[in-house]
Structure 1
Amino acid sequence: MSNIDSNKKELSSGQREELLSVLKVRFEKNMNRHKGLEWAKVQAKLEDNTEKLWSLNEMERTGGEPDVVGYDEKTREYIFCDCSAESPIGRRNVCYDGEALESRKDHKPDNSAIDMAAAMGIGLLTEEQYRELQKLGNFDTKTSSWLKTPSDIRKLGGAIFADRRYDTVFVYHNSAPSYYGSRGFRGLLRV
């Protein structure tokens, strides 16, 4: 099964309508995340980017509850991020990347955060992006999320993750092959 299979990356018209409806309701309920932005403009951009719409559907399907968290004036792109209260349930129990997955001798998880994100057409949040998201609400108060790890840390076998405890965002380290039922990853998509 190839990740480049275009048939897999397209939604039916019914799926598109349903997803756009869900996204619109979430957008309107959470205006604090995207002050000054208009849903009609977001929807028009989404309708012109069917593959990105497919990626948003994958974010939604795996429990991410994606929403607009910003607009990049330079690139004219809307920034979507997983805004579920906890790390998306359909993306937990994963180690950091494919190399970490291959290094496990026993009890391998089914997937890795990096590979799963790539298959979905999204990226993991950086530490900076995660901290920005946390300014919009209290996320990961019972779970944690893998973050895009700097290459110098990854070369040494580690990976970073973050959560929110005691009203503070904490960034930690772990060995990249580790995985936990309460750790997943949040994605970012630019449209």
Structure 2
Amino acid sequence: MTNHIQELSLELAEGLLQTLKTRFEKNINRHQGVEWADVQAKLEAHPGKLWSLYEMERTGGEPDIIEHDATTGEYVFYDCSAESPKGRRSVCYDREALESRKEHKPQNNALEMAAAMGIEILIEEQYRKLQKFGYFDLKTSSWVQTPASIRKLGGAIFCDRRYDTVFVYHNGAESYYAARGFRGALRV
């Protein structure tokens, strides 16, 4: 993952921290036992991570903490928007898939967008964990990290929730749809 060390202006950083705090307090069931003051201290100590969270927010992801790794002390933010983040839809899976399209190419691909934002695309297990905290992707779908064995054969996988069930599907990695984007995670 590319780590873009970029910093927000003081005004943007303060606004983002307030947005994150409000969401954190509104959705305490996602991170019971975690104190906002500890999270904020970590974010203030890592301005590059705050920038990545800003990018998640700017593209419609509504990031919030879903995991706390007790071993490393890291907090893990996931995109928690009800639908796949609007600013990250209509993308194929990766660069190889983008280059394989002869015409009607999307403007971007999920893996490179995530890397440019300093985040990682959710893996299937993370996607399923997110779904325990609400109903996500009822009308959209989200690319998830694809095993190399599937990608080698030209495919990629994505998930959504329909009929109160989380489904994992496959598609050609070069495909893209207005209702398919990707969800990311960021460790802080």
- For normalisation by structure 1, the TM-score amounts to 0.96
CA RMSD, Structure 1 to Structure 2 (Å): 1.0
Tell me whether 1:133 sits opposite 2:130 in the alignment: yes
Matched residues, number: 187
- For normalisation by structure 2, the TM-score amounts to 0.98
Aligned 8 A contact 2:57 2:63 in 1:
yes
Tell me whether 1:190 sits opposite 2:184 in the alignment: no
Q: CA, structure 1 residues 12+185, in 2 after alignment: closer, same or farther (shift >3 Å)? A: same
Matched ranges for 1:65-104 at <5 A: 65-104=62-101
Distance 2:99 2:10 in 1: 38
Matched ranges for 1:18-167 at <5 A: 18-167=15-164
Note the alpha carbon deviations across 1:81-125, whole angstroms, 9 max, x for none.
000000000000000000000101100000000000000000000
Aligned 8 A contact 2:121 2:183 in 1:
yes
Distance 1:74 1:151 in 2: 28
Amino acid at match of 1:57: Y
Shift of 1:48: 0.4
Give percent identity, aligned residues only.
70
Please list every run of 5 or more consecutive structure 2 residues that lacks an aligned counterpart in the other structure: none
Amino acid at match of 1:68: I
Amino acid at match of 1:184: G
Q: CA, structure 1 residues 5+38, in 2 after alignment: closer, same or farther (shift >3 Å)? A: closer
